Amino acid sequence: MKLALTYPEAYEDHPWGENVVKVNKKIFVFFGVPQPSRLMVGVKLPDAAEFALTFPFAEPSGYGLGKAGWVTCVFAKGDDVPVDMLEDWIDESYRAVAPKKLVRQLDLERA
C-alpha cells in the first residue's frame, strides 16, 4: 500500500470494509479486507491483463470488473510474491484510472 500512496493525489479509503487506494475518487488498487494469512491485490490492467492472467495467483476480478481489465492476485502466507511485477501493475493501474494531468505530473516527477 505504501507504494500506491506515493502517486500524485492518491489516498487510502475503506469502502465495504476493504482497503483501497484511490485517485480522483476512483479506485486504482484494491487490497481487500485485511487478513493476516493472505495478500490480495486488485488492479486495472488495460495492457497487461492477458499476461497477468497466465499466472496461477491471478484471476479476472469479480462483479464484472474482469471484463474491464481488472485482475485480482491472491497470495497465501509464505507464497513467493513477485513484488516488482505487482509494482509495475500498480503503476499501470494508476495510469489507467488517474486524470491525464496527474499522469503527466507523475512522469515529470520521475524524469
Prediction pTM value: 0.94
Predicted confidence (pLDDT) per residue in 2-32, tens digit: 999 999 999 999 998 899 999 999 999 999 8
Q: For residue 111, what is the enclosing H or E element?
A: none
Q: Please tell me what DSSP assigns to residue 97.
A: H
Domain at 4-98, CATH class: alpha beta
pLDDT above 90: residue 34: no
Instruction: Give the 3-state secondary structure of residue 16.
Output: helix
Given a contact cutoff of 8 angstroms between Cβ atoms, the answer to whether 96 and 90 are in contact is no
pLDDT tier at 39, thresholds 50, 70, 90: very high
What are the domain boundaries of the chain?
4-98
Look over the chain and give the mean of its residue pLDDT values, rounded to a whole number: 95
pLDDT above 90: residue 35: no
Given a contact cutoff of 8 angstroms between Cβ atoms, the answer to whether 8 and 99 are in contact is no
Q: Of all residues in the chain, what percent carry a pLDDT higher than 90?
A: 86
Mean pLDDT along residues 68-85 = 95
Q: E-assigned strands of 1-111?
A: 10-13, 19-23, 26-32, 38-44, 58-60, 70-76
pLDDT above 90: residue 105: yes
